[in-house]
Amino acid sequence: MRSKFDEQLLELNKEMIEMGNKIIQSIKNAIEALVARDENMAKAIMESDAEVDHLQKKIEGICFNLLIQQQPVARDLRTVTAAMKMVTDMERIGDHAADISEMTILMGQNSQIDKFEHISQMATETMIMLNHSIEAYVEKNVIKAKEVIEHDDIVDGLFVEAKKDVIELILNSPSEVEGATDILMIAKYFERIGDHATNIAEWVIYSLKQKEDEDEV
């Protein structure tokens, strides 16, 4: 019975890593399409969101099987519960890759995104957070997870600066209101990606807490 359970846990871990890698690539591609004003690439990212949704359903199915059929003990229950919570955040990150890509298409070749340095910095910092949150899960690394949580303050600070930049654009060029609103939405998506990466890191810590407590005994 336990060997079957361990087998399913390994499958869960494999699928979680695959989904993590997929959303990292989606965000990376979304940033690339945004900067290059590449509408074809943006469309491909939006279409690929269905793959992330499929992985979410697959992982949730594994989790439900583990909970219903295997009756996990406390430590394993933490692992499965955390996976179910993390996969929701990962799916939302995939949605935001599609959201950013949709804005890329809406703005087209008239995009002024390259004028907003703080949003460029947000993209860089959220990629760091996302990479490290998935690495923390793979490596079972509490220290790295805590660093992700602390890093969110940087993204929040950049979001405040990005909003100031957008307000300045509107005040100086009232005709650019629509474009400025699009830019602000993109900044908000990056801020949310940072929030979801933080959530993933927090669930990594939760899933490893019992092991930490046992190590201290």
pLDDT exceeds cutoff 90 at 2: no
**Average confidence (pLDDT) over 187-209:** 96
Residue pointed to by tokens 């804005």:
103
Q: What is the mean pLDDT of residues 161-169?
A: 93
Mean pLDDT of the chain: 92
pLDDT at 118 over 70: yes
Residue 211 is predicted with a pLDDT of 56
Is residue 90 within 8 A of residue 116, CB to CB? The reply is no
Residue scoring higher pLDDT (78 or 216)? 78
Answer whether residue 20 shows pLDDT above 70.
Answer: yes
Residue 216 has pLDDT above 90, yes or no: no
- Reading the block at residue 131, the tokens are 């990479």
Name the band, by pLDDT with cuts 50, 70 and 90, for residue 217: very low
Alpha-carbon torsion angle 46, 48, 54, 55, nearest 10: -110
Tokens of 42: 């943006």
- The pTM of the full predicted model, rounded to 2 decimals, is 0.92
**pLDDT band at 164; cut points 50, 70, 90:** very high
Lowest mean pLDDT among 42-51, 53-62, 168-177, 186-195: 168-177
DSSP, collapsed to helix, strand or coil, labels residue 141 as coil
Residue 197 confidence class, pLDDT cut points 50, 70, 90: very high
Residue 92 clears pLDDT 70, i.e. is over it = yes
Please say if the pLDDT value at position 201 is more than 90: yes
Is residue 140 scored above 80 in pLDDT?
A: yes
Cα separation of 38 and 107, whole Å? Answer: 11
Domain map of the chain by residue range? 2-216
Question: What is the CATH superfamily name and number for domain 2-216?
Answer: Phosphate transport system protein phou homolog 2; domain 2 (1.20.58.220)
